[in-house]
């Protein structure tokens, strides 16, 4: 057997250095993780406020309100809901409960600005059917400060409920509800992670047949996630991040971290089984799979960067988190993994699982996918037509894709039930529309009259209603008018009411006064503006990702056909995932299976998010497979022989990596939040389709049909740099690694 030519590509040099300095690489990595925690704790993560997420007119209104009411920028609001089936708000028994709640709240020094339906002028604190009423109050301090004591107030309110067991008395609000919901969701996400990790370990145990080999990818992925979640504190000082970014980092970090290590480790084991020495096998893996990991990682980084073009601060924070964890996982796979393998050698096979180990083929090829590939290559035209027909059929529902913002009705946890009850008693009252009206003096008669006319017209329209309120800033520079919108807040009725307010009532009233501006914010306005901005930015995001992915593939493989085909195949995977999402969630076909009620659409942020994430992850497999095919082709094999060799030797690795991803993403489909269900299903389905129909059928069939044209590069692009492709190792008598 002739030795593999010594490689000088960047990944190979990293692998050689790490193998020669294994202590520096391993302990340096551990020091990096520890330092990341120290730095993260010292700096602290800066999170986005709810208003920071708003865009368009809603964001403009937020700024107006903050400028006029600087002291109220972090003001919180709480409500005690009182309901009775038998009594109405005018009954003595009902009044007694209201008084008891008021007296109870008065015992807390942190409670201020208590408003009750018993006070004159507060008729809007009673529901239309008069079987419900609310007591409003303001907890002192910021959200973080109020969160420290809010449970004491909730406990006291619960005692009121016990004293009046024929009434429903419950507290809800910006502190109590958000704190309870956050604790539940964080617990569920942590539980999902705890489920995903052992599932990933079981899959890796089956893939490698040994405990040590299975633990290496998982440990590298976990440390990459931990380091990233700590280091994200640094960029958060400049671009605040969403609290959920940690869960996105976990999701992506676990997926790519396991993938990269799996690609690398399986190639090293394959080279050892082919008869190479430990060092030679490691160098071969570094030069080939290491190079594929490097190209794949850079492609994923470019795809994730596309989220910056959305203009959405939440997306930008996701982009930062995912780019960081991909970069960290990639560096770990190219440095720490070869260092550990150089030290462990064949001891990486320790802890063998006999039955599983005997199922593995020593040549690295997959029996199942080998049989599939043989049939695909015998009938490439039939395979292409069949695969495309299936993908188009799956994509077809995406043509009817509609976006709908998640409301509280789409969340099925006990902590949200008080909010649902409140919304039924006071439709739209929990998140009213807020109209910011800055002027020189909002108490001047023309402005006052215009605001009064606005309120009258709003009530007369039938699309807005009580409670209505007008608050004037201390310097009289800004007025804020709040009013409820018809509907649930996120349905067509609420959006129609918002349009009436913005496009008709405000221009006809406040807009007629010289020197007066206005803007509308609130949940409905923010959702509408966010959806509009997302649709506007989608072409830019998609264009950036597609263009740079094409250029990177073109430079990496010096083939315009490979680059174009990568784009087309990935778009088919994403389109099929969109179609499945629409059928399952928008059409409601998955209601019984996934335990939810369809709201008639997909959450607005998901299509762009899925495109970016899925495009990046799909490129992992594509780069890995094409690298192996090109490696064999450059060695001198014919196109068909190279395709056969490349697919058969990578199919089991791709299948294993995809199984880990599908299992990880699938866990999130079990959460009670429909956004998480949609994200989990979308990611899992796309990866599954990509690893089977696209990579195992459509890719080899099209490569067979195109023949040597797969590697076509026009003369006018011959100036492109030649990135080194390693020749495939010469055939050798297979033997088990010692």
Q: Is residue 317 part of a domain?
A: yes
Q: Alpha-carbon distance 673 to 242, whole Å?
A: 17
Q: Are residues 360 and 370 in the same domain?
A: no
How high is the mean pLDDT of the chain?
85
Please report the DSSP string for 539-594 in residue order. HHHHHHHHHHHHHHHHHHH--HHHHHHHHHHHHHHHHHHHHHHIIIIIS-TTHHHH
pLDDT digits (tens, 9 = 90+) for 9-45: 788 888 889 988 999 999 999 999 999 999 999 999 9
Q: Do 569 and 694 form a contact (C-beta atoms < 8 A)?
A: yes
Q: Is residue 447 part of a domain?
A: yes
Q: Is residue 308 part of a domain?
A: yes
Place of tokens 């201020």: 112
- Angle in degrees, CA 476, 480, 484, rounded to 5: 160
**Of 412, 344, 420, 334, nearest in space to 132 by CA:** 420
Q: Alpha-carbon distance 27 to 296, whole Å?
A: 26
Q: Are residues 512 and 522 in the same domain?
A: yes
Q: Is residue 536 part of a domain?
A: no
Q: Backbone dihedral region of 403: left (phi > 0), alpha (psi from -120 to 50 degrees) or beta?
A: beta
Q: Are residues 258 and 297 in the same domain?
A: yes
| The last residue of a domain, from among 145, 174, 203 | 174
Q: Do 603 and 678 form a contact (C-beta atoms < 8 A)?
A: yes
Please report the DSSP string for 203-230 in residue order. HHHHHHSBHHHHHHHHHHHHHHHHHHHH
Q: Is residue 72 part of a domain?
A: no
Place of tokens 């949940």: 523
Q: Are residues 370 and 422 in the same domain?
A: no
CATH classification at residue 150: 3.30.70.1430
3 state SS of 137: strand
* 336 contact partners, CB below 8 Å, separation of at least 6: 18, 25, 26, 29, 220
CATH classification at residue 326: 1.20.1640.10
Q: Alpha-carbon distance 282 to 625, whole Å?
A: 19
Q: What is the pLDDT of residue 335?
A: 92
Q: What is the pLDDT of residue 731?
A: 40
Indicate the DSSP class of residue 80: E
Q: What is the pLDDT of residue 527?
A: 84
Q: Alpha-carbon distance 625 to 463, whole Å?
A: 57
Q: Are residues 215 and 235 in the same domain?
A: yes
Q: What is the pLDDT of residue 737?
A: 34
- Count of structural domains, the chain: 4
Q: What is the pLDDT of residue 582?
A: 95
pLDDT digits (tens, 9 = 90+) for 523-575: 888 888 888 888 888 888 899 989 988 988 888 888 999 999 989 998 999 99
Q: Are residues 430 and 391 in the same domain?
A: no
In degrees to the nearest 10, what's the CA dihedral of 263, 264, 268, 269? -40
Q: Alpha-carbon distance 485 to 105, whole Å?
A: 29
Q: Alpha-carbon distance 687 to 673, whole Å?
A: 22
* Cis before 467 (ω within 30): yes
Q: Do 136 and 125 form a contact (C-beta atoms < 8 A)?
A: yes
Q: What is the pLDDT of residue 639?
A: 85
Q: Alpha-carbon distance 560 to 712, whole Å?
A: 6
**Of 270, 285, 257, 259, nearest in space to 342 by CA:** 285
Q: Do 209 and 352 form a contact (C-beta atoms < 8 A)?
A: yes
- Angle in degrees, CA 679, 661, 650, rounded to 5: 140
Residue 16 structure tokens: 């050689």
| The last residue of a domain, from among 124, 153, 174 | 174
- Angle in degrees, CA 136, 138, 143, rounded to 5: 130
Q: Alpha-carbon distance 319 to 339, whole Å?
A: 30
Please report the DSSP string for 138-165 in residue order. EESS-HHHHHTTHHHHHHHHHHHHHHTT
List, for the chain, all residue ranges whose pLDDT scores fall below the cut of 70: 1-8, 50-51, 71-74, 354-367, 409, 428-431, 722-738
How close are the terminal C-alpha atoms of the chain, in Å? 18
Q: Is residue 4 part of a domain?
A: no
Q: What is the pLDDT of residue 356?
A: 58
CB atoms within 10 A of CB 389: 10
Q: Is residue 736 part of a domain?
A: no
Q: Are residues 553 and 620 in the same domain?
A: yes
Q: Are residues 265 and 342 in the same domain?
A: yes
Q: Are residues 345 and 380 in the same domain?
A: no
Q: What is the pLDDT of residue 738?
A: 29
Q: Are residues 449 and 568 in the same domain?
A: no
Structural domain range at position 512: 416-527
Burial class (CB in 10 A: 0-12, 13-18, 19+), 17: middle
Q: Alpha-carbon distance 60 to 65, whole Å?
A: 9
Strand 168-173 to 132-139 pairing? unpaired
Q: What is the pLDDT of residue 362?
A: 54
Q: Are residues 630 and 570 in the same domain?
A: yes
CB atoms within 10 A of CB 263: 30
CATH classification at residue 460: 3.30.70.1440
Q: Are residues 344 and 372 in the same domain?
A: no
Q: Is residue 162 part of a domain?
A: yes
Q: What is the pLDDT of residue 311?
A: 78
**Of 425, 413, 419, nearest in space to 85 by CA:** 425
């Amino acid at each position: 057997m002739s030795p593999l030519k010594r490689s000088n590509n960047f990944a190979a040099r990293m692998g050689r250095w790490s193998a020669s300095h294994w202590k520096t690489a391993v302990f340096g990595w551990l020091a990096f993780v520890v330092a990341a925690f120290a730095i993260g704790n010292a700096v602290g993560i800066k999170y986005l406020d709810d208003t920071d997420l708003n865009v368009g007119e809603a964001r403009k209104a937020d700024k107006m309100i903050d400028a006029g009411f600087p002291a109220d920028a972090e003001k919180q609001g709480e409500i005690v809901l009182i309901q009775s089936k038998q009594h109405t708000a005018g009954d003595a028994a009902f009044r007694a409960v209201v008084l008891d709640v008021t007296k109870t709240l008065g015992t807390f020094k942190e409670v201020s600005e208590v408003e009750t339906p018993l006070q004159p002028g507060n008729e809007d604190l009673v529901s239309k059917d008069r079987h419900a009423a609310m007591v409003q109050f303001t907890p002192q301090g910021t959200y973080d400060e109020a969160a420290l004591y809010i449970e004491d107030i909730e406990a006291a309110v619960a005692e009121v409920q016990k004293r009046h067991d024929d009434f429903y008395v419950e507290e809800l609000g910006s502190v109590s509800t958000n704190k309870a919901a956050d604790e539940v969701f964080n617990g569920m996400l942590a539980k999902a992670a705890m489920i995903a990790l052992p599932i990933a370990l079981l899959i890796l145990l089956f893939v490698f047949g040994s405990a040590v080999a299975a633990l290496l990818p998982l440990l590298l992925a976990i440390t990459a996630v931990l380091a990233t979640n700590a280091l994200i504190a640094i960029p958060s000082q400049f671009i605040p991040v969403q609290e959920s970014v940690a869960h996105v980092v976990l999701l992506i970090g676990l997926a790519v971290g396991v993938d990269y290590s799996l690609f690398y480790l399986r190639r090293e084991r394959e080279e050892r089984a082919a008869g190479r020495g430990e060092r030679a096998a490691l160098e071969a893996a570094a030069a080939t799979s290491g190079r594929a990991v490097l190209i794949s990682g850079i492609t994923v980084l470019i795809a994730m960067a596309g989220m910056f073009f959305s203009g959405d601060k939440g997306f930008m924070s996701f982009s930062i988190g995912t780019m960081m964890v991909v970069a960290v996982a990639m560096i770990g796979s190219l440095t720490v993994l070869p260092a550990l393998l150089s030290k462990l050698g064949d001891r990486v096979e320790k802890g063998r699982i006999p039955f599983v180990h005997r199922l593995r083929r020593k040549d690295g090829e997959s029996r199942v996918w080998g049989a599939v590939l043989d049939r695909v290559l015998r009938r490439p035209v039939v395979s292409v037509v069949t695969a495309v027909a299936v993908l188009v059929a799956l994509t077809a529902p995406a043509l009817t894709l509609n976006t709908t913002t998640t409301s509280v009705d789409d969340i099925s946890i006990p902590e949200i039930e008080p909010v649902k009850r409140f919304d039924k008693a006071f439709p739209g009252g929990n998140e009213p529309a807020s109209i910011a009206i800055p002027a020189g003096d909002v108490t001047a008669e023309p402005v006052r009259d215009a605001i009064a006319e606005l309120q009258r017209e709003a009530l007369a329209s039938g699309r807005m209603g009580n409670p209505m309120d007008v608050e004037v800033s201390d310097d009289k520079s800004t007025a804020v008018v709040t009013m409820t919108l018809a509907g649930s807040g996120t349905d067509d009725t609420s959006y129609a009411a918002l349009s009436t307010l913005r496009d008709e009532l405000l221009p006809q009233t406040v807009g007629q006064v010289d020197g007066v501006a206005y803007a509308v914010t609130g949940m409905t306005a923010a959702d509408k503006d966010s959806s509009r901005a997302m649709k506007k930015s989608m072409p830019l995001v998609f264009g950036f990702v597609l263009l740079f992915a094409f250029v990177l593939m073109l430079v990496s493989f010096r083939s315009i056909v490979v680059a174009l085909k990568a784009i087309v195949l990935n778009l088919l995977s994403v389109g099929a995932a969109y179609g499945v999402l629409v059928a399952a969630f928008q059409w409601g076909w998955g209601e019984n299976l996934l335990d939810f009620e369809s709201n008639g659409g997909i959450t607005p942020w998901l299509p762009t998010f899925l495109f970016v994430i899925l495009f990046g992850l799909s490129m992992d497999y594509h780069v890995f497979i094409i690298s192996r095919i090109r490696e064999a082709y450059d060695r001198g094999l014919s196109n068909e022989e190279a395709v056969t060799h490349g697919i058969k030797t990578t199919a089991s690795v791709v299948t294993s990596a995809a199984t880990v991803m599908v299992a990880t993403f699938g866990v999130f489909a079990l959460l009670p939040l429909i956004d998480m269900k949609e994200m989990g299903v979308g990611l899992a389905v796309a990866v599954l389709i990509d690893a089977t129909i696209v990579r195992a059928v459509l890719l080899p069939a099209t490569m067979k049909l195109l023949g040597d044209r797969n590697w076509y590069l026009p003369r006018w692009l011959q100036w492109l740099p030649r990135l080194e492709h390693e020749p495939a190792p010469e055939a050798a008598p297979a033997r088990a690694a010692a």
